[in-house]
């Protein structure tokens, strides 16, 4: 798969193209140097040495991040950040403990896993915010009772995916019916009916709880 080139976030003029290669190729004689020589030169601020290392290990690093991350653009960003770490903190690499390839692969994997965790945390935060909004709308009044709020959130999570998705999109970020329809690729009327049915189910759950 060819990924659109993205400027690498380093104080350099080259670009990174995922699996394919580095757009700006290093001179052939640079590639004949072993890793330790290139690392020594890079540590002294030699940008051409870093270019040679990116060209040598770029596909490996991007391959690692791409296996962890679904988003190819984010995988490129993390791959670039891996080389940025090497550029800024070359002392992190210890040749006595691992090869440079293994070190870069480990750094890339850890950064990719961290990115997944951060995105998951943001997703849960968005879902909680949307759930809170949907719950308030369903109850038609602010709910302070912890039990009732839990009942409604549980009911929201049990809704059919289409209804829950429409409600979450509508009540997080204030999307209109039309915007929800465009994002889901369904007619606006379908969005309205899914939201109406979803809210009705939430209100039924709240009514049943209050009758206990």
Q: How many domains does the structure of the chain reveal?
A: 2
User: What pLDDT does residue 139 have?
Assistant: 54
Is residue 1 in some structural domain?
A: no
Is residue 127 in some structural domain?
A: no
| In a shared domain, residues 114 and 153 | no
DSSP string across 140-151: TS----HHHHHH
pLDDT band (50, 70, 90) for residue 73: confident
| In a shared domain, residues 90 and 162 | no
Is residue 137 in some structural domain?
A: no
Structural domain ending residue among the three candidates 119, 153, 188: 119
User: What are the pLDDT digits (tens) for 118-155?
Assistant: 877 776 666 666 566 655 655 555 555 667 777 777 88
Is residue 124 in some structural domain?
A: no
Is residue 93 in some structural domain?
A: yes
Alpha helix locations (H) across 5-159? Answer: 35-43, 47-68, 72-88, 100-139, 146-158
| In a shared domain, residues 79 and 179 | no
- Look at the alpha carbons of 128, 130, 133, 138 in this order and tell me if their dihedral is positive or negative: negative
Query: What CATH number is associated with residue 104?
Result: 1.10.1740.10
| In a shared domain, residues 101 and 198 | no
Is residue 138 in some structural domain?
A: no
| Selected residue with higher pLDDT from 172 and 210 | 210
> What's the domain range around 73?
6-119
| In a shared domain, residues 12 and 115 | yes
């Amino acid at each position: 798969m060819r990924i659109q080139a993205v400027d690498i976030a380093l104080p350099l003029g080259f670009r990174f193209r995922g699996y394919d290669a580095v757009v700006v190729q290093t001179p052939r004689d640079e590639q004949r140097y072993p890793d330790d020589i290139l690392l020594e030169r890079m540590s002294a601020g030699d940008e051409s040495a870093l270019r040679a290392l990116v060209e040598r290990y770029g596909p490996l690093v991007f391959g690692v991040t791409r296996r962890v991350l679904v988003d190819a653009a984010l995988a490129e960003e993390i791959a670039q950040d891996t080389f940025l770490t090497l550029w800024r903190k070359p002392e992190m690499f210890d040749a006595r403990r691992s090869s440079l390839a293994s070190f870069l692969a480990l750094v890339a994997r850890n950064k990719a896993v961290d990115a997944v965790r951060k995105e998951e945390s943001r997703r849960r935060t968005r879902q909680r915010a949307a759930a809170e909004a949907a719950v308030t709308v369903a109850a038609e009044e602010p709910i302070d009772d912890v039990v009732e709020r839990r009942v409604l959130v549980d009911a929201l999570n049990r809704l059919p995916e289409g209804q829950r998705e429409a409600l979450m999109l509508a009540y997080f970020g204030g999307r209109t019916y039309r915007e929800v329809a465009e994002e889901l690729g369904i007619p606006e009327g379908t969005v309205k009916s899914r939201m109406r049915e979803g809210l009705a189910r939430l209100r039924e759950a709240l009514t049943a709880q209050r009758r206990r």
